[in-house]
Amino acid sequence: MSEFPHLLTPLALGSVTLRSRVIMGSMHTGLEERGDWAAAARFYARRAEGGVGLIVTGGMAPNREGGVFPGAAGLYEAQDVANHRQVTQAVHAAGGLIAMQILHAGRYAFGKDCVSASALRSPISPFTPVALDEAGIEAQIAAIATAAARAREAGYDGVEVMGSEGYFLNQFLSPRVNTRTDGWGGSAMARMRLPLAVMERVRAAVGRDFLVIYRISLADLVPEGSFWGDTVALAKALEPSVDLFTSGFGWHEARVPTIAASVPAGAFVGLTARLKAEVTVPVAAANRINTAALAEEILASGQADLVALARPLLADADFVAKARAGRADRTAPCIACNQACLDHTFAGKLATCLVNPAAAREAEFAASPAAVPLRVAVVGGGAAGMACAATAAERGHAVVLFEAAQALGGQMRLAARVPGKAEFGDLLAWFARRLADAGVEVRLGATAGPEDLAGFDRVVLATGLKPRRLDLPGAETAPDYAAVLAGRVLGQSVAVIGAGGIGFDVATALVGAEGGLQGWRAEWGVGDPSASAGGLVEAVPEPPARQVWLLQRKAEKPGRGLGKTTGWIHRAHLAAKGVRMLGGVVYLGFGPEGLRISRDGQEEVLPVGDIVLCTGQESERTVAQALTAAGQGFDLIGGAADAYQIDAQRAIEEGVRLGLAL
C-alpha cells in the first residue's frame, strides 16, 4: 500500500486522465524569451518524466499589450505555434500532459500600452493603463480565445486562463480597478462579465474535448477586493465553461505574503476547501504545499481534488516519482526562498533553483559517470562541501567529507534556527541522506591537515566563513550572529550591528516567532473574505519579545539589498515588531549605558544591554594556507573562495559544478 494513495490516484478530467493529482503550477523560467525553446522543452519534459499529472506552462501573453513586459513570451501569432509544439511534443514523449497558461497582465503589464478596466495605475507599476472601450474589450476577449485555439493547434492538452493575482480578468472583478458604469462595471454582476465572456469564448474556440482551467482568486488580499459571495457566484457562473479551478491568492500589489517561507505551510487550503463545497468541477489547492505528505493530507481530507505545486518541481523534478517509489524523503525540498526563481525572474535573469541548479539548465548540468573514479577529499560540510561531495560521489568517485564541527550544515544549520526558515533544516537533512545514499564517508569533528589529505587524488576545500569582528571599544567580547543563532541568551534590549541578510535574520530571531497560522494571520491582517473585502482585516501583530535596533553604516534604508520578492516582507515584519531600523550610523562605543552612535553628526546612546555583530564574514582559509605551504594542490569553493555576498545559492551551485567536473 502506497504512503500516498490519494496523491497517486489518477483523475479523469475532461477528455484526459491525469496520472497523479499533482499539477505543476505555472512557473516562468525566461527560457522562451531567450528563444531557447529546446531548453524549455527539456525543462518541461524532465518534469513530465518525474510523473507530474499535468504541467501548466509559465504565463503566455495572448497579445502584445497583455505581455507582462515588452517581449514577454506569448502565443499571439500563428508563427509562434511551431515553438510551442517543441514543448508539447517533448512532454508527450515523456508521457505527460501540458496546458498553456494564458496570462493577460492588464495594468500590471510593464509598458505604456497596458490596458485595463479603468485608467487607474497600480501601486507597483509606473504605467497608467488605457481604459478599454467596448471595441478594446472585444479585442482582448478575441485575443485570449485565439490564443487558446492556437494552444490547441500547438498540441497542448488544455489552457489555464489566469484570473487571479490581480491580472487583467481579476482587475475587472474589483471596484479597486473597475470604476466603469457601462455594463462592464458598476455592480458585482457587471464586473464579472469579462471573465464570463472570456471563458465562454475560450470554450467555444477549443471545443469540449480540451481542458479549460480557470485560476480563480479566492482572496484578493487588497482593499476593495472581492467578497467571498461574489467569488462563489463567479465560480458557479464559470462552471459550464471550465473543467477545473486552480486557486490563486493575493494580488501582486497586496502587502500580504502568500508564498514566502514565513507563510505557514498550507495557509490558504481552507479557502480552496470552501470553494470545493460550492462547485461540482474539481478544484486544485495551491501555495506553500511542498511535501508529498502535506499534499496527501489535503487530498485525503477532501479539501481539494488536486494540488498545484510550482517551485517544489523546480527543486525536484521527481517529486511524484519519488513519492510513488516510497522515497519521498529523498525529495529535494523547496525552501520557499525565491532566491533563484522569482528573484531571478524579476531581475530579468533565467529562473533556476537554489537547491537544484540544474533546473531550467538541464543540459548544462547533465551528470555523467566519472571516466576514472578518483579518491576525493572534501573539507567542509556546509552547503558547498555537501553539494560537491554528493555530486561527485553520485558520479562514482570515492569521497571522504571532513567536517570540523560535530554536525553537518555550516551556515545552513544557523539559518534553520531563524523563525520562518525551518525548511533549511529539511534541506540539510536531505543533503545528509543524499551523502549517505551516495556512499560518502562523512567524518565529523575532523579537522583535516596536509597529512590527512596527502593520499587523495583531488582535494576540495569548502571551509566556509568566519564572522567578521568589529573594531569597536567595548565590543571585544560581543557575540556574533553565529553565537546568537546557536542559542546565546540576550536581554530585553539589543542592537544588531549590520543590516545585511544575516542582520535581518538575527533581528527576526530576537523579536520572537509568531504563534502558528493564527498568529501569522493576525500579524498580516488576513481575515475571512466572507466578512471583509478581499479578506483583509486590521493587522494585530503579537508584541515583540524584546526591543531591537537594526543598524548599518550606509546612509540608505536598511534592507535594500534583500531579495526583490522577499525583502519587503522582512522589512514589514520587523517594522510590525517595532524594530528601529537605522542607516547612516557611526559606531562610537559600547558600554554599561548602551551603544553610543552618531547619525548626521548627532551623538546618541541607544539604551541596549547587548549588541550582536552581523558585520559580514571573512573566508576561512586555514587549511588552504597549510596546503599551500606543503605544496599540495586543491580546489577552493564557496565562502572559502570568496566571502563577498556568498549565500547558499552560490555555494551549492559552485559545489555542484565542481562535483560534475571532477
Classify residue 430 as exposed, middle or buried by CB count within 10 Å of its CB (0-12, 13-18, 19+): buried
* Cβ neighbours of residue 105 closer than 8 Å, sequence gap 6 or more: 61, 66, 67, 68, 72, 114, 167, 168
Q: Please, what is the minimum distance in Å from the beta carbon of residue 340 to ligand SF4? A: 4
Shortest distance in whole angstroms from residue 39 CB to ligand SF4 = 17
Minimum CB distance to ligand SF4, residue 353 (Å): 3
E strand spans, 433-584? 441-444, 458-461, 465-467, 493-497, 547-551, 580-582
311/25 Cα distance (integer angstroms): 8
Among 129, 498, 594, 659, binds ligand NAP (CB under 6 A): 498
What's the gap between Cα 373 and its chain centre? Answer: 36
Q: How far is the CB of 20 from ligand NAP (least distance, A)?
A: 32
Q: Which residue is nearest to ligand NAP (CB)?
A: 500
Work out which of 25, 333, 501, 529 binds ligand NAP, going by CB under 6 A.
501
To which residue does cell 486590521 refer? Answer: 538
Of the two residues 20 and 615, which places its CB atom closer to ligand NAP in the complex? Answer: 615
Q: Considering the complex, what minimum distance in angstroms separates the CB of residue 517 from ligand SF4?
A: 20
Residue 615 interacts with, from ligand NAP, ligand SF4, none (CB under 5-8 Å by kind): ligand NAP
319-348 residues near ligand NAP, rule: CB under 6 A: 339
Reply yes or no on whether 167 is catalytic: yes
Least distance CB 482 / ligand NAP (angstroms) = 11
Q: Which three cell numbers stand for residue 358?
A: 540544474
Going by their DSSP bridges, the two strands 16-18 and 11-13 should be labelled as: antiparallel
**Do 121 and 235 meet the contact criterion of CB atoms below 8 Å apart?**
no
CB-based contacts of 499-503 (< 8 A; 24+ apart in sequence): 499/550, 499/551, 499/552, 499/558, 499/559, 499/581, 499/583, 499/614, 500/552, 500/561, 500/614, 500/616, 501/561, 501/562, 501/647, 502/614, 503/550, 503/552, 503/558, 503/614
Give the DSSP letter of residue 64: S
Is the Cβ of residue 231 or residue 339 nearer to ligand SF4 in the bound state?
A: 339
User: In this structure, is the dihedral angle defined by the CA atoms of residues 551, 552, 558 and 564, taken in order, positive or negative?
Assistant: negative
* 156-164, 249-257, 528-536, 644-652 -> range binding ligand NAP (CB under 6 A): 644-652
Residues 447, 377 contacting (CB under 8 angstroms): no
Binding of residue 653 to ligand NAP (CB under 6 A) = no
Which CB, 189 or 486, lies closer to ligand NAP? 486
- CA angle centred on 653, ends 651 and 655, rounded to 5°: 70
Which of ligand SF4, ligand NAP, none is residue 500 near (CB under 5 to 8 Å by kind)?
ligand NAP
Residue 647 binds which entry of ligand SF4, ligand NAP, none, with Cβ cut-offs from 5 to 8 Å by kind?
ligand NAP
Q: Segment 519-558, which members bind ligand NAP (CB under 6 A)?
A: 552-554
Q: Which residues, including other chains, have CB under 8 Å from residue 526's CB and lie 6 or more apart?
A: 219, 221, 256, 520, 535, 536, 537
Determine if 502 is a binding residue for ligand NAP (CB under 6 A). yes
Residue 614 contacts ligand NAP per CB under 6 A = yes
Task: List residues binding ligand SF4 (CB under 6 A).
Answer: 311, 314-315, 334-341, 353-355
Residue 483 CB, nearest distance to ligand SF4 (Å)?
Answer: 27
Q: Does 652 bind ligand NAP (CB under 6 A)?
A: no
| Binding flag, residue 88, ligand NAP (CB under 6 A) | no
**Could you tell me which residues come within 8 angstroms of residue 605 by beta carbon, excluding any fewer than 6 positions away?**
593, 594, 595, 596, 597
Query: In this complex, which beta carbon is closest to ligand SF4, that of residue 177 or of residue 354?
Result: 354
617 binds ligand NAP (CB under 6 A): yes
Q: Which of 142, 253, 616, 626 binds ligand NAP (CB under 6 A)?
A: 616
What mask of x and - would describe binding to ligand NAP in positions 435 to 474, judged by CB under 6 A? ---------------------------------x-x----
User: Exposed, middle or buried by CB within 10 Å (0-12, 13-18, 19+), for 265?
Assistant: middle
Please choose, from the candidates 345, 448, 434, the residue with its C-alpha nearest in 3D space to the C-alpha of residue 404.
Answer: 448
Ranges of beta strands (E only) in 263-356 are 283-285, 306-309
In the complex, the smallest distance separating the C-beta of residue 649 from ligand NAP, rounded to whole angstroms, is 9
* Active-site pick, 44, 108, 156, 167: 167
647 lies in the binding site for ligand NAP (CB under 6 A): yes
559 binds ligand NAP (CB under 6 A): no
**Identity of the residue, 333 or 503, whose beta carbon is nearer to ligand NAP in the bound complex:** 503
B/e letters for 184-208, b = 16+ CB within 10 Å, e = fewer, are bbeebebbbbbbbbbbbbbbebbee
In the list 15, 17, 492, 645, the residue contacting ligand NAP (rule: CB under 6 A) is 645
Q: Examine residue 500 and tell whether it contacts ligand NAP (CB under 6 A).
A: yes
341 interface partner picked from ligand NAP, ligand SF4, none, CB below 5 to 8 A per type: ligand SF4
Q: Which does 564 bind (CB under 5 to 8 A by kind): ligand SF4, ligand NAP, none?
A: none
Distance of closest approach, residue 420 Cβ to ligand NAP, in angstroms = 10
Q: Of these partners, ligand NAP, ligand SF4, none, which one is at the site of residue 97 (CB under 5 to 8 Å by kind)?
A: none
Q: In whole angstroms, how close is the CB of 260 to ligand SF4 at the nearest point?
A: 9
Per partner kind, with CB cut-offs from 5 to 8 A, the member of ligand NAP, ligand SF4, none near residue 657 is none
Which C-beta is closer to ligand SF4: that of 211 or that of 313?
Answer: 313
Report the candidate in 587, 641, 629 with the shortest Cα–Cα distance to residue 475.
587
Reduce the secondary structure of 131-162 to three states and give it as a string. ECCHHHHHHHHHHHHHHHHHHHHCCCCEEEEE
Considering the complex, what minimum distance in angstroms separates the CB of residue 125 from ligand NAP?
A: 25
Instruction: Tell me the C-alpha distance between 208 and 345, whole Å.
Output: 35
> Of 116 and 649, which has the nearer Cβ to ligand NAP?
649
Rg (CA), the chain: 26
Cβ distance to ligand SF4 smaller for residue 341 or 428: 341
d(CA 115, CA 588): 54
Q: In angstroms, rounded to a whole number, what is the distance separating the alpha carbons of residues 56 and 24? A: 6
Alpha-carbon distances of 130 from 106, 114, 116, 121, 195, rounded to whole Å: 9, 6, 6, 10, 19
Partner whose binding site includes residue 349, from ligand NAP, ligand SF4, none (CB under 5 to 8 Å by kind): none
Q: Which does 645 bind (CB under 5 to 8 A by kind): ligand SF4, ligand NAP, none?
A: ligand NAP
Out of ligand NAP, ligand SF4, none, what residue 315 binds, judged by CB under 5 to 8 A for its kind, is ligand SF4
Residue 32, by phi and psi: left (phi above 0), alpha (psi -120 to 50) or beta?
alpha
Instruction: Report the residue from 286, 435, 499, 548 that binds ligand NAP according to the rule CB under 6 A.
Output: 499
Question: Residue 514 carries which side chain, given as an amino acid letter?
Answer: E
For position 58 contacting ligand NAP by CB under 6 A, the verdict is no
Report the catalytic residues: 167
The residues that touch ligand NAP, with contacts defined as CB under 6 A, are: 339, 468, 470, 498-503, 505, 552-554, 561-563, 614-617, 645-647
